[in-house]
């Protein structure tokens, strides 16, 4: 039974630096890669990540927008048991500079040297449809 609300879960997720983004490849197999959470964790059911438009993950999202995100936090990090979060949702691609500015953090300069002006950069928005979490004895599902 879910005992956490989305705002309570978002507060815990704020301390998680990376997510694994799983997409479906052209062969039908699932593939996953780490994506930086970048501190953009005022989580309301939407997640935002930056990528190069010519990357395989972007091509896979264009072909099949159903994706999964998974987050893991170690025991003790949040003053208790480990936190696991699995998010199923639909991804969309955004190429709007104003949206980039709204979600950009300085840490992204490591991956995109010209900031929001880096040629070919796109933003991936993942809208959650189902969120499952496990946190010690507390586990549940939150409808997003």
Q: How far apart are CA 27 and CA 98, in angstroms?
A: 35
Per-residue pLDDT at 42 exceeds 70: no
Q: How far apart are CA 26 and CA 23, in angstroms?
A: 10
Sorted by where each starts, the structural domains of the chain and their CATH numbers stand as: 6-143 (2.30.110.10)
Which pLDDT band holds residue 58 (cuts at 50, 70, 90)? very high
Which pLDDT band holds residue 143 (cuts at 50, 70, 90)? confident
Q: How far apart are CA 142 and CA 5, in angstroms?
A: 7
> So what's the pLDDT on residue 77?
61
Q: How far apart are CA 64 and CA 36, in angstroms?
A: 21
Number of DSSP helices (H) and strands (E) in the chain, helices first? 3, 7
Q: In this structure, are residues 43 and 10 in contact, taking their beta carbons and an 8 Å threshold?
A: yes
For tokens 């879910």, the residue is 2
Condensed to tens digits (0 to 9), the pLDDT of residues 64-111 reads 999 999 999 876 665 678 889 999 999 999 999 999 998 898 888 999
> So what's the pLDDT on residue 78?
58
Rg of the chain in Å (alpha carbons): 15
Q: Which pTM value belongs to this model?
A: 0.89
Q: How far apart are CA 74 and CA 16, in angstroms?
A: 9
Q: In this structure, are residues 12 and 27 in contact, taking their beta carbons and an 8 Å threshold?
A: no
**Alpha helices by DSSP H, the chain:** 6-13, 56-63, 97-103
């Amino acid at each position: 039974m879910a005992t956490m609300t989305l705002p309570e879960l978002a507060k815990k997720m704020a301390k998680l630096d990376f997510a694994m983004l799983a997409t479906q490849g052209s062969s039908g197999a699932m593939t996953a890669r780490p994506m930086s959470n970048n501190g953009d964790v005022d989580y309301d059911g939407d997640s935002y990540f930056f990528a190069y438009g010519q990357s395989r993950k972007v091509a896979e999202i264009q072909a099949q927008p159903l994706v999964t995100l998974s987050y893991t936090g170690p025991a003790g990090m949040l003053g208790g048991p480990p936190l696991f979060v699995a998010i199923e949702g639909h991804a969309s691609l955004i190429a709007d500079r104003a949206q980039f500015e709204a979600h950009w953090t300085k840490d992204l300069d490591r991956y995109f040297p010209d900031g929001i002006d880096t040629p070919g950069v796109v933003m991936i928005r993942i809208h959650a449809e189902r969120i499952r979490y496990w946190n010690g004895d507390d586990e549940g599902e939150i409808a997003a």
